[in-house]
Amino acid sequence: MSRILLLVEQKENRRLLSEWLAGHHEVLLPDEKETGSRGAKEQENNREILLNPQSCRNGINWRLLSSQPERGFPTLAALLSTQHGQGTVLPLPLSPQSLILNTAFDLCVLDSVALKQFWEEVQARKATELPVFLPFLLIVPRQDVGLMTRHPWKSVDELVTIPIEKMELQTRVKMLLRTRQLSWDLKQRNAELKETNERSQQEIVKHQQAEAQLRQSEEKFRQFLEAAPDAIAIVGASDRIVLVNTQIEKMFGYERDELLGNTLEMLLPDYIRRVHDRERTDSCCEPQVPPMGVGFELFARRKDGTEFPVDVSLSHIETPQGFLVTSIIRNITVRKQAEEEIHKALEQERQLGELKSRFVSMVSHEFRNPLTSISLSAHMLEHCSNEWSQEKKSKYLLRIKDIVRNMTDLLEDVLLIGRADAGKSEFNPVSLDLTEFCRNLVEEIQLSASNQHEINFVSNQTQFKLENFNTDNYSFQGSNLECLTVTENEFETIVSMDEKLLRQILNNLLSNAIKYSPEGGIVHFGLTCQNGEATFQIRDEGIGIPPADLARLFETFHRAKNVGKIPGTGLGLAIVKRCVEIHGGKIAVDSQVGLGTTFTVTLPC
């Protein structure tokens, strides 16, 4: 129910207005003494007024207004609190008339006398109510409207002229109260809106803070990805790559945009994709599954098609959108190389043990028999020389010298290999006529071959068939070949090579060709010089070399399984290989068991 304050001096008008309004509103009528002249009331120096409890709001049931509030009125205040609940003591304005406007009301109906008397108080009260509209309705005789000295609309909101019509009054009152209610509702709505806006602003701030934290978290995560030494790819629920770091771009040669949206299978060779798919499926089902690549060699493929060994580890990240799979890819090429080096070192250590064992066996075999022969020959010379002829003595002495020479050559071979392995071999190139050198070497070997083998030497498409050699005219006689006389300049090929090392190479290869060929067999020896390289090819028709022995053919003390009782130390080819390497050349072998062997040596000249 609305509360209407009547400040009308004329009693009849006040009574009539009260009757008209009391049916729908609560009407407040101040006492007559409170609406008297301001001057008489201002003479009072000490007064107190107790407001009607119904005129108070905001949880306060009573107000005690006093001209001397500092006295506190503890006894009266305690009594009022007991009877009416919470209240307060306030200072009393100078005039009790102004106190009337402090009463809580929704509409004030006043006449021109009250308006003139409370002009400032009305404006002050309207200002304190803002933004809520507090209406003031002025009733004034029609003839007095033009006599008002102040503009009424600064203080009043409606004007009703006397004589008053009830219907008009009620309509004006209803409109003013409706307007006040709307302004009150607007204030409430504005307050609610303000509160809502404040909450929204707080939510916006929280959302912005959450977004900032999320961005910071994402940035930290990206920094972590970029700082990682390994390639990282994060795969979403659809098995598509959703995030990668720079390392994976460097490792595989793809741009980031080429990787995003594709599957990890694009980084794998075709023959591994099926295995990877199965491992990934197992990892998704069992998060504790071991890293991919454990137990088998896993290779990745770069954009250019090259492959390299990798180790792939999978881990899971649970997000509101589902599980993400993080693939950490590590290039293990260096590790594999290190493992291979370790395996090689272990293999070399094993081979060294075998080498030592073979060396001891070789020394025992190659030195025991000669030393026994030397000891026996020396014993015979010591005890039987008086009974022997000079020829027989010389024969035994020559035998001792031959044995000592062979043992010395064997030791030289061992020392040569040792110096080569230690990198201490000497390389002394000299100007050399290869054709003349090879021809002389063939002659020497042919003389020591006891005419049991035949050597065909071919230099620049000219053939020499050595069977019975005549040193007087440098001709080679064969059963089906005319005698050829070679001039010194016809095949002159001057190169710069180490004569001693070259002799070791060719002598060992030719000697082996003769040794492992049947009696009467032919050894083919070819020489070609072109493009700054000299190529020597020695081909026999001997027992050949089994394929299983080819890989270890040039190892020290190694001999093929099919040599049988053919004597040998296993040093010849090892010496050949090291001498070729010292020259900076290459050696190749081609062999078939039972058909023969071909060695090809290429040396820079």
Nearest to 542 by CA among 558, 521, 559: 521
Please give the model's pTM, rounded to 2 decimal places: 0.41
How confident is the model at residue 47, as a pLDDT?
A: 44
Better pLDDT: 217 or 353 = 217
pLDDT, tens digit, 9 for 90 and up, residues 232-262: 999 987 889 999 999 999 999 999 999 999 9
Measured CA to CA in angstroms, residue 10 lies from 14, 32, 35, 108 at distances of 6, 10, 11, 16
- Within this chain, do residues 118 and 25 fall inside the same structural domain, yes or no? yes
| DSSP string of 231-263, one letter each residue | EEEEE-TTS-EEEE-HHHHHHH---HHHHTTS-
- pLDDT for residue 205: 92
Tokens of 102: 């402090």
Instruction: Provide DSSP, 127-188.
Output: HHHTTS---EEEEEEGGGGGG-SS-GGGT-SEEEEESPPHHHHHHHHHHHHHHHHHHHHHHH
> For the segment 389-408, what is each residue's pLDDT rounded down to a tens digit?
888 888 888 888 877 877 77
Q: How far apart are CA 492 and CA 102, in angstroms?
A: 139
Number of structural domains (the chain) is 4
Residue that terminates a domain, selected from 331, 349, 375: 331
- Percentage with pLDDT > 70 across the chain: 73
Q: Is residue 597 part of a domain?
A: yes
Residue 218 domain-assigned (yes or no) = no
CATH label of the domain that carries residue 546: 3.30.565.10
* Alpha-carbon distances of 592 from 239, 331, 548, 595, 598, rounded to whole Å: 55, 42, 12, 5, 9
Residue 348: pLDDT band (50, 70, 90) is confident
Burial state string for 11-44 with b = 16 or more CB within 10 A and e = fewer than 16: eebbeebbebbeeebebbebeeeebeeeeebeee
List the CATH number of the domain containing 177. 3.40.50.2300
Residue 80 falls inside a structural domain: no
Backbone φ and ψ of 148, nearest 5°: -70, 130
Mean pLDDT of the chain: 77
Assess whether pLDDT exceeds 70 at residue 453: yes
More confident residue, 146 or 157: 157
- Tens of pLDDT, residue by residue over 412-429, are 767 777 777 667 677 888
What's residue 342's pLDDT? Answer: 93
Give strand pairing partners of 466: 455
Residue 539 placed within a domain: yes
**pLDDT at residue 596 tops 80:** yes
Q: What is the pLDDT, as a whole number, of residue 400?
A: 84
The answer to the question of residue 517 being in a domain is: yes
Mean pLDDT along residues 431-446: 88
Whether the pLDDT of residue 491 is over 50: the answer is no
pLDDT of residue 36: 46
* 28: containing domain: 3-47+92-190
pLDDT at residue 18 tops 60: yes
Q: What is the mean pLDDT of residues 118-139?
A: 88
Residue 545 has pLDDT above 50, yes or no: yes
Same domain, 442 and 408: no
pLDDT for 56 beyond 50 = no
Q: Are residues 582 and 517 in the same domain?
A: yes
| Domain-terminating residue out of 398, 419, 440 | 419
Q: Are residues 558 and 441 in the same domain?
A: yes
pLDDT value for 308: 93
Angle, CA of 79, 82 and 86, to the nearest 5°: 100
- Do 356 and 314 lie in one domain? The reply is no
Q: Are residues 392 and 433 in the same domain?
A: no
Residue ending a domain, choose from 419, 454, 472: 419
What pLDDT sits at residue 527? 93
Same domain, 256 and 115: no
**Statement to judge: residues 289 and 347 lie in one domain:** no
- With 80 as the cut, is the pLDDT of residue 264 above it? yes
Of the candidate ranges 149-158, 159-168, 250-259, 353-362, the one whose mean pLDDT is the lowest: 353-362
The CATH number linked to 362 is: 1.10.287.130
Q: Is residue 214 domain-resident?
A: no
Higher confidence at residue 438 or residue 402? 438
Is residue 524 situated within a structural domain? yes
Residues 547 and 592 in one domain: yes
Identify whether residues 369 and 485 lie together within a single domain.
no
Give the C-alpha separation, 58 to 60, whole Å: 6
Res 293: pLDDT = 47
Are 29 and 117 members of one domain?
Answer: yes
- 153 and 29 part of one domain: yes
Query: What pLDDT sits at residue 76?
Result: 58
For residue 386, tell me if it sits in a domain. Answer: yes
pLDDT value, residue 209 = 92
